[in-house]
């Protein structure tokens, strides 16, 4: 008899060994008990081992970049930019790539939940059949006592809720996010309205500009549409072989945009309006034009001293701006998010008027949409109604106001006075944990929808959203929930479901002159999904722009400080956005591009100031403003004014999952409830004090711990 082992016997022995191993590992971790079912029921169009690609829209911020998702056997593998999409043209930021971690995040809400507010030990899973009548009864409440608070994105859900509110006499839905406040969207729109007569977001043609002055607009990182503007910035730098664009950034703390600029001008917070008027006077003199009325009383030398820069530098920059054929001035961020922010934004926009670059390449255009973003003032009115028991039902979707809003506003306390709060959150965020019901929407990668482009799109764009995988959990489209509940409440809308609503909304696009068309909606729908949306092939911006005469403004200038005891406070957004990205470990692990810090909140202090105060890296300081206080570790940052401190926004969660909770501090505790004339949060003229606590807490960083000036 042969001693050789046949192939059949070898497989028998191997199978037996595997079975014995499975028994012997019975005491292993819980993950070994997961049932691994064979993938026998393949979704349509999927085959084993083959990639399937879906065009959709990134929902990680309100910009709405087009994406291509590669799937294999029903699972999302990679996310990249859609090369045909006119907004991002194949590019994508880190936040967009981490959408997978939102889809497969183990801390998602797995199904509808009823809970005792704020008490996670008293949560109870329920069913959709049980909660639809609850939503239906809520919609039967007096229309004036129903409120909707949605995210910033101008999407299909906003259109659906707005239509229901109009047809039933309810207040229009509000849209808010902290990121929109940091961007100064409402201020920018109102400044455009007062300057150009149209309340639309301006489009800044960065790609064709030669000299760009940025006042607080961190367009390479978080402002409006960073992927689109980053691409345009690359074109400004490299697209023309004979001309290289020149960028000057005016801001107290060097952001990623200022770090990439040719010149960073560290002016004092609150001096931006004065600097813009001084530049207006100097530009007029350099061009031989009449000095604008608003700048006639301005002394550039005095302004330079007030702002903390050399008068000669101000004159040099004005001549540079005046001499270029394509000069562009951009207001944004902290420069316009202060008490005098609206006048500041107008003064900066007027610089474009002076050099005649309205509606021309390298200049300022106006977008085609006039849909305004909700201002903080409108949210403040909502809080007052909640406190006065005028809101009986509050629906919240894609917003986390308990975390995002300034604590002094008192949203959390007002929320407790609303009889019924329903959240559609996909994650257990701070607001969802204080709701009566959490009815989780699908992940964006499991959803249908559309989004209109509001910022940085040079043409009309409707970006499509489609599921790339089947829903992983017992979630349901919020649009379907509201449609079913409205029908049961006796106030139905003429749509059978979410997809029917979307198809009816895009019917007008069939004959609107896009780059494709179809004889009927089903064929158009197929192409809509295939291409990732609908848009026109040619630029479609408003070029017929006329400006109103500049109006004089009395700027009060920077707030006077007590040296080394008071500081200008700069709160700035990071790759975590409005804080929703804090549950993505990839984003937490990604170093901040200017400091290389990760996983925490820090306080940036100029090294010269830190030396005078005896403060070292990783010392814990207590930062106090008239509105609140927090503690965080110090990072000695040389690219910040000595009279200024800065804190990143996005950390300090008390909910949102294991990667977000208990990390850092939330600087919303330091911010006021004050607003400027446009209703935007006036966060950039806050004064803070700092004090050592005697504690040290090392920050995780990628750079050498010796830093720039050696270890401190």
HEC profile of 416-473: CCCCEEEECCCCCCCCHHHCCEECCCCCHHHCCEEEECCCCCCCCEEEEECCCCCCCC
* Low-confidence residues of the chain: pLDDT under 50: 1-2, 18-40
Residue 95: its pLDDT value, please? 93
* Cα separation, 482 vs 452, whole angstroms: 21
Are 271 and 199 contained in the same domain? Answer: yes
Closest to 648 in 3D by CA, of 635, 660, 658:
635
Residues 145, 219 within the same domain: no
Q: Is residue 267 part of a domain?
A: yes
Please indicate, yes or no, if residue 617 is contained in any of the structural domains. Answer: yes
d(CA 156, CA 146): 20
Assigned domain for 311 exists: yes
Q: Are 307 and 279 in contact (CB under 8 A)?
A: no
Q: Which CATH number goes with the domain that contains 577?
A: 2.40.40.20
Q: Write out the H or E segment, with its range, that includes residue 624.
A: strand 619-625
The pLDDT score that the predictor gives to residue 38 is: 45
Residue 429 within any structural domain of the chain: yes
Please say which residue of 298, 333, 366 terminates a domain.
Answer: 366
If asked whether residues 342 and 464 sit together in one domain, one would say: no
The answer on 265 and 236 residing in a single domain is yes
Distance CA 680, CA 186 (A): 6
Q: Distance between CA atoms of 618 and 632, rounded to whole angstroms?
A: 9
The phi-psi region of residue 609 (left if phi > 0; otherwise alpha if psi is between -120 and 50; otherwise beta) is: alpha
As a whole number of Å, the CA-based R_g of the chain is 27
Q: Do residues 52 and 45 make contact, with C-beta atoms less than 8 angstroms apart?
A: yes
Q: Based on the domain organization, do 430 and 346 belong to the same domain?
A: no
H helical segments located in 435-581:
478-488, 498-506, 521-531
529 domain residue, yes or no: yes
At 50 the pLDDT is 85
- Segment holding 533, helix H or strand E: strand 533-535
**Quick one: pLDDT at residue 29?**
38
Whether 620 and 633 have beta carbons less than 8 Å apart is answered as yes
Burial 642-681 (b: 16+ CB within 10 A, else e): bbbbbbbbbbbbebbbebbbeebbbbbbbbbbbbbbbbbb
Residue 200 maps to which CATH number? 3.40.228.10
Domain count, the chain: 3
**667 belongs to a structural domain:** yes
Phi then psi for residue 522, to 5 deg, are -65, -40
Distance CA 145, CA 386 (A): 9
Beta-bridge partners for 423: 396, 438
Question: What pLDDT was estimated at residue 18?
Answer: 47
User: For position 415, what pLDDT does the model report?
Assistant: 96
Residues 6+ apart with CB under 8 A from 152: 62, 175, 176, 177, 179, 180, 185, 373
Q: Is residue 3 part of a domain?
A: no
Please give the pLDDT value at position 539: 79
- If one counts every other C-beta atom within 10 angstroms of the C-beta of residue 356, the result is 13
For residues 603 and 585, state if they share a domain: yes
Same domain, 204 and 123: no
d(CA 368, CA 51): 38
Segment holding 331, helix H or strand E: strand 327-331
Q: Is the dihedral of CA 186, 191, 194, 199 positive or negative?
A: negative
Task: In whole angstroms, give the CA distance from residue 547 to residue 350.
Answer: 8
Distances (CA, A) of 161 to 261, 397, 640: 42, 11, 44
Compute CA distances 162 → 157, 399, 482, 591, whole Å: 8, 17, 12, 40
Residue 191 sits in the same domain as residue 153 = no
pLDDT tens sequence across 642-664: 999 999 999 999 999 999 999 99
> Inter-axis angle of helices 498-506 and 521-531, to 10 degrees?
100
For residue 393, the domain's CATH number is 3.40.50.740
Structure tokens at 155: 């999407």
Q: Quickly list DSSP for 260-296.
A: TSSEEE-PPTT-HHHHHHHHHHHHHHHHTPPPPGGGT
Are residue 629 and residue 688 in the same domain, yes or no? Answer: yes
Residues 359 and 454 in one domain: no
CA atoms within 13 A on the CB side of 251: 34
Whether 354 and 404 map to the same domain: the answer is no
Q: Token pair of 14, please? A: 């191997």
pTM for the full predicted model:
0.88
Mean pLDDT rounded to a whole number for the chain: 88
Terminal alpha carbon distance of the chain: 79
pLDDT of residue 561: 85
C-alpha span between 395 and 453 (Å, rounded): 24
Per-residue confidence (pLDDT) for residue 432, from 0 to 100:
94
Q: 366, 386, 405: which is the final residue of a domain?
A: 366
Domain span at 149 = 113-167+373-535
Phi, psi angle pair for 250, to nearest 5°: -105, 105
C-alpha to C-alpha distance for 373 and 178, rounded to whole angstroms: 12
Token pair for 425: 């959150």
266 plus 386 within the same structural domain: no
- What pLDDT shows up at residue 267? 95
Does residue 14 fall inside a structural domain? no
Using the Cα atoms of residue 351, residue 357, residue 363 and residue 366 in order, give the sign of their dihedral.
Answer: positive
Q: So what's the pLDDT on residue 555?
A: 87
- C-alpha torsion angle, residues 592, 593, 595, 597 (rounded to 10): 30
């Amino acid at each position: 008899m042969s001693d050789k082992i046949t192939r059949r016997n070898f497989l028998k022995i191997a199978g037996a060994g595997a079975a014995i191993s499975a028994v012997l590992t019975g005491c292993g971790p819980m993950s070994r008990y997961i049932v691994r079912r064979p993938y026998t029921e393949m979704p349509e169009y999927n085959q084993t081992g083959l990639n399937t690609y879906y065009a959709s829209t990134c929902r990680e911020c309100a910009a709405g970049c087009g994406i291509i998702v590669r799937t294999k056997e029903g699972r999302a593998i990679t996310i990249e930019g859609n090369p045909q999409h006119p907004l991002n043209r194949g590019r994508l930021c880190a936040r967009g790539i981490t959408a997978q971690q939102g889809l497969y995040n183990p801390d998602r809400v797995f199904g509808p939940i009823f809970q005792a507010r704020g008490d996670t030990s008293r949560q109870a899973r329920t069913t959709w059949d049980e909660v639809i009548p609850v939503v239906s009864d809520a919609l039967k409440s007096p229309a004036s006592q129903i409120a909707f608070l949605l995210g910033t994105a101008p999407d299909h859900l906003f259109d659906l809720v707005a239509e229901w509110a109009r047809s039933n006499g309810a207040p229009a839905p509000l849209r808010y996010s902290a990121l929109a406040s940091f961007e100064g969207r409402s201020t920018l729109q109102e400044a455009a309205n007062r300057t150009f007569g149209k309340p639309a977001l301006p489009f800044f043609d960065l790609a064709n500009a030669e000299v760009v002055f940025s006042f607080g607009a961190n367009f390479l990182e978080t402002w409006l549409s960073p992927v689109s503007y980053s691409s345009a910035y690359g074109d400004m730098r490299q697209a023309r072989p004979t001309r290289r664009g020149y960028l000057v950034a005016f801001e107290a703390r060097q952001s990623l945009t200022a770090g990439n600029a040719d010149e960073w001008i560290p002016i004092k917070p609150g001096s931006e309006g004065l600097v813009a008027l001084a530049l207006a006077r100097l530009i007029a003199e350099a061009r031989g034009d009449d000095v604008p009325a608003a700048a006639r009383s301005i002394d550039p030398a005095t302004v330079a001293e007030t702002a903390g820069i050399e008068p000669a530098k101000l004159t040099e920059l004005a001549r540079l701006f005046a001499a270029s054929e394509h000069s562009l001035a951009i207001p944004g961020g902290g420069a316009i998010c202060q008490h005098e922010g609206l006048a500041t934004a107008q003064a900066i926009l007027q610089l474009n008027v002076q050099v005649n670059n309205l509606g021309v390449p390298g200049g300022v255009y106006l977008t085609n949409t006039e849909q305004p973003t909700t201002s903080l003032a409108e949210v403040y009115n909502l809080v007052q109604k909640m406190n006065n028991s005028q809101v009986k039902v509050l629906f919240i979707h894609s917003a986390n106001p308990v975390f995002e809003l300034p604590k002094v506003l008192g949203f959390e306390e007002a929320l407790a006075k609303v009889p019924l709060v329903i959240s559609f959150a996909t994650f257990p965020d701070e607001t969802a944990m204080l709701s009566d019901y959490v009815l989780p929407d699908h992940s964006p990668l499991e959803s249908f929808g559309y989004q209109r482009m509001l910022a940085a799109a040079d043409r009309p764009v409707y970006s499509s959203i489609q599921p790339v995988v089947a829903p992983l959990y017992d979630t349901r489209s919020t649009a379907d929930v509201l449609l079913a509940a409205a029908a049961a409440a006796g106030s139905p809308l003429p749509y059978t479901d979410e997809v029917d609503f979307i198809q009816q909304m895009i019917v007008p696009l069939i004959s609107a002159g896009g780059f494709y068309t179809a004889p009927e909606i089903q064929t158009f729908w197929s192409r809509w999904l295939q291409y990732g949306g609908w848009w026109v092939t040619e630029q479609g911006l408003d070029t017929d722009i006329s400006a109103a005469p500049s109006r004089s403004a009395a700027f009060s200038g920077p707030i006077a400080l007590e040296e080394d005891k008071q500081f200008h406070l700069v709160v700035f957004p990071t790759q975590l956005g409005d804080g929703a990205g804090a549950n993505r470990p990839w984003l937490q692990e990604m170093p901040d591009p200017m400091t290389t810090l990760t996983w925490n909140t820090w306080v940036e202090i100029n090294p010269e100031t830190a030396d005078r105060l005896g403060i070292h890296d990783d010392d814990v300081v207590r930062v106090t403003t008239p509105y609140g206080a927090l503690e965080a570790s110090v990072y000695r940052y040389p690219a910040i004014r000595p009279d200024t401190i800065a804190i990143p926004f996005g950390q300090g969660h008390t909910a949102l999952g294991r990667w977000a909770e208990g990390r850092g501090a939330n600087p919303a505790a330091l911010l006021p409830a004050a607003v400027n004339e446009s209703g935007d949060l006036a966060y950039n003229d806050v004064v803070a004090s700092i004090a050592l606590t005697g504690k040290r807490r090392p920050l995780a960083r990628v750079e050498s711990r010796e830093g720039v000036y050696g270890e401190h």
